[in-house]
Amino acid sequence: DIQVTQSPSSLSASVGDRVTITCRTSLIVSNHLHWFKQRPGRAPNLLIYSISTLQSGVPSRFSGSGSGTGFSLTISSLQPEDFGTYYCQQTYSFPYTFGQGTKLEIK
């Protein structure tokens, strides 16, 4: 199974800050690495698919990058509505696996 490790597990940042969350996979996953955001009590929402493609309707302050086994999600200028938990996921091989999540709090 491909292990997916996110860091940090939590972070607190201020409005306007640049925030980066990293994701590392135990094997190369090609471009099958995606990012989701989840608010408490809500379903996850796709932000970025295939490493760097912004999902329709997602603000352009979100971006994704990386290759091989190392990936990152960046929020260029943090907004109050960006609080929540962020997950990366690989769909390169079964079983699909998610990172453990990064809880983002707004200071």
* Residue 43 sits in the site that holds another protein (CB under 8 A): yes
Q: Which of 20, 31, 63, 74 contacts another protein by CB under 8 A?
A: 31
Options 12-20, 59-67, 68-76, 91-99: segment touching another protein (CB under 8 A): 91-99
Q: How many residues bind another protein (CB under 8 A)?
A: 27
Half-sphere exposure of 68 toward its Cβ, with a 13 Å CA cutoff? 2
Residue 50 beta carbon to another protein: minimum distance, rounded to whole angstroms? 4
CB 20 within 8 A of CB 72: yes
**37 Cβ neighbours under 8 A, 6+ residues apart:** 44, 45, 47, 82, 84, 85, 86, 87
CB 97 within 8 A of CB 107: no
Query: Three-class SS of residue 2?
Result: coil
Looking only at residues 57 through 76 of this chain, which bind another protein when binding is defined by CB under 8 A? none
Q: Which of 20, 22, 45, 76 contacts another protein by CB under 8 A?
A: 45
Residue 27 beta carbon to another protein: minimum distance, rounded to whole angstroms? 16
